Amino acid sequence: MRSVINILDLSVEEIDALIATANDIIANPKKYSEVCHGKKLATLFFEPSTRTRLSFEAAMYELGGHVLGFSDAGSSSATKGESVADTTKMVNCYADIIAMRHPKEGAPLVASMNSKIPVINAGDGGHNHPTQTLTDLLTISRKKGKLSDFTIGFCGDLKFGRTVHSLITALARYTGIKIVLISPDELKLPSYIKKDVLVKQGIEYVQTDNLEEVLPELDVLYMTRVQKERFLSEEEYIRLRDSYILTAEKLKIAKEDLIILHPLPRVNEISVDVDDDPRACYFEQALNGKFIRMALIMELLGLKAE
């Protein structure tokens, strides 16, 4: 049995294989429609979600399997004081695989240590979000035809943005990646990621607070929401929330083959007038999340299409 808690739980070769499977699912969906017949996915979401939970559920249904779970910790026995470990042991009685989101960093790891069935981290606090990273890698690979030799700018809340932390960790294993970190001083990438990932792997990176200055050199722009739920002070959130607003006007100086990604949800960091720009890929990115999660569920259950 194997779980995916951190993107580093998957080798580069395994990620390449998942991307290949996802591309095949996109091309031949019928081939996969009964692969998970009789299998059950439990979605244990202790924190709100639209894309991750619904794409996991859609993924299992499209593989011919079933789904059970909860979307709100308030409707689970966590409210009565049940631990993550005990909840996981219970769900082992009812399901074949678990996708868990939790506001506490490390909760899915605790679940995996108390589980005989695979556990997938569907986002833990400000820490990791490995299936979003797989979604991002699939989207970059489909749009750029490669996962190497490009410049990517991460813009917004790089401190609390778990999708940023996971994607940087993943990209550090590919070649020719240049990283531009664009944030206000208060929302800079945590120093442990700079030290343990960027410096350790010798990844070229720069830091700036000026999006317009660096926009023309980017091949990929990864916008992020300022994570209101992680702030201790409402005042501080209000001061920082509009640090960056990408508009159609600002994009005039960007490359024609730029791709704009965002894990979503957006608040107002991407103006709706950008949505019709062919460089805006964030809705397609959300769709890709379903296909890569189908590939991951199959892999962790040891199932293949006939």
Q: Is 51 a residue of the active site?
A: yes
Minimum separation from the CB atom of position 55 to ligand CP (A): 8
User: CA-to-CA distance for 44 and 266, rounded, in angstroms?
Assistant: 23
Minimum separation from the CB atom of position 53 to ligand CP (A): 6
Give the footprint of ligand CP on this chain (CB under 6 A). Answer: 49-52, 123, 132, 263-265
Specify the residue, 56 or 205, whose C-beta has the smaller distance to ligand CP: 56
Residues 6+ apart with CB under 8 A from 286: 51, 55, 135, 264
User: CA-to-CA distance for 295 and 305, rounded, in angstroms?
Assistant: 10
- Residue 181's alpha-carbon distances to 42, 93, 196, 252, 272, in angstroms, are 36, 44, 16, 21, 23
Specify the residue, 35 or 152, whose C-beta has the smaller distance to ligand CP: 152
Residues 6+ apart with CB under 8 A from 62: 29, 32, 33, 290, 294
Minimum separation from the CB atom of position 195 to ligand CP (A): 26
Specify the residue, 35 or 155, whose C-beta has the smaller distance to ligand CP: 155
Side-chain half-sphere CA neighbours of 218 within 13 A: 28
The catalytically annotated residue of 53, 102, 129, 293 is 129
Nearest to 21 by CA among 262, 291, 235: 291
In the three-class reduction of DSSP (H, G, I as helix; E, B as strand; rest coil), residue 294 is classed as: helix
User: CA-to-CA distance for 216 and 213, rounded, in angstroms?
Assistant: 7
Q: Is 52 a residue of the active site?
A: yes
Specify the residue, 50 or 79, whose C-beta has the smaller distance to ligand CP: 50
The catalytically annotated residue of 101, 102, 194, 241 is 101
Nearest to 117 by CA among 304, 301, 303, 295: 301
**Maximum distance among all Cα pairs of the chain, rounded to whole angstroms:** 56
Q: Is 89 a residue of the active site?
A: no
Specify the residue, 45 or 205, whose C-beta has the smaller distance to ligand CP: 45
Minimum separation from the CB atom of position 71 to ligand CP (A): 10
Across-strand partners of 119? 98
Q: Is 80 a residue of the active site?
A: yes
Q: Is 146 a residue of the active site?
A: no
Minimum separation from the CB atom of position 58 to ligand CP (A): 12
Q: Which residues are catalytic?
A: 51-52, 80, 101, 129
